[in-house]
Copies of this chain bind each other. A is one copy, B any other.
């Protein structure tokens, strides 16, 4: 077996796009299907998604959310009920026009998102303030008719969760919107080791039909930004459009306030592009399908395999462990599990046994340590914690290095032209400036961060009085 064979992926600095495609293929995450723009999510990536899902789902449930399963179709008339929403989505939906051999009297779209379906249901089940809040979520796939697609980052069908909640008061709904953004940020930073910027989208970039969209933005290794999770406050716009009313505490008929929030399989793209390197994937401990791989060396000798199996059994109590006792060479196995991004490798051979030790190798920085077999489980726990922190710091350092400040438009244009990364700049709040910046530089506004800085007093584009600080970037 040839180690190079497995590892032959395009270097990341040479061609980032091809590097990404190579990893997706060689790590067996996804393959193309006969259905244009749709992907086959292979077992390894499905296991990764299941771990992401379990983690988020338990966070949602702890906060009182419950899951439901809504239809995948939306009748055209239902989609049209909220004006901004239909304008945003109608151009990019798949239309079902025939059932069996019959032409339908009304077209159905395959859901691109489910606000309209939830509102239709909420209309039926909300009557009194005692019915509120409704804290619903669903795990499903949605379809948006995209022209160009890339696995996980942009596909016609993608997998996600969509939370849809209804509240008695505006304040409560805004709190929910922010709370769920914090849930996403906490998950992505602590469990995926990806630093994010929390902020609010400009009106131009907000979700179709929302009053406000909050976002977490992450920086990929190539300097492009990736919107990684969003949370929307709708006010009572949909409630009015769908005639959802409730009897409030003063016995008055009122409209409830709504939120929605989503995170998708796109986050797998963020994991690949934040942590991956020239040897393949680097997976965060929390969601890795295999957290620890044990590679026995020369295991026909002495009792190496026996010891490796005992180790597997012990560690399996706490971790997802794989012992690879196949006939492949250790070198082949090292390359294979590096490609698959397994966070920690344990090597154990006859010489190690003589010294009563094993070798731990961290995937993300290749640090190699020799540890006693006596307290190996403690050493593994320590190593996994170090990996978690270390991966976050590495990504944060890179983001800091790639974040620039532009005080005037010449600076802005120069940075945008020469330096991949994020640009912090002041903005007057006018759509015209946002559009001009995009036209001149292809940079879009990522968000008004919750933690704004006062860089200058004037808009980086027009020079008028600045209202906000914005993060700009080229985006996926």
Contacts and interface: CB of A to CB of B under 8 A. Distances in A.
Interface string A26-70: 000001011100111111001101100000000000000011111
B99 A98 contact: no
A476 B393 CA distance: 59
Nearest to A111: B35
A430 interface: no
Number of copies: 2
A156 B96 CA distance: 13
Contacts of A452: none
Nearest to A74: B35
A143 interface: yes
Interface residues of A, number: 52
Nearest to A50: B67
A372 B468 CA distance: 66
B69 A33 contact: no
A433 interface: no
Interface stretch (A16-24, A87-95, A455-463): A87-95
A93 B100 contact: yes
Interface in A67-123: 67-75, 78, 90-101, 108, 110, 117, 120-121
Q: Kindly list the 10 A-B residue pairs having the minimum CB-CB distance in the complex, ordered from nearest.
A: A38-B71, A41-B69, A43-B66, A99-B145, A95-B98, A35-B71, A100-B145, A97-B97, A46-B67, A94-B96
Given A33-B70, A40-B71, A91-B101, 18 more contacts: A31-B121, A33-B120, A34-B78, A35-B74, A35-B75, A35-B78, A40-B70, A42-B68, A43-B66, A43-B67, A47-B67, A49-B69, A50-B67, A72-B141, A94-B96, A95-B97, A96-B96, A96-B110
Interface of A: 31, 33-35, 38-43, 46-47, 49-50, 66-75, 78, 90-101, 108, 110, 117, 120-121, 124-125, 136, 140-141, 143, 145, 156-157, 159
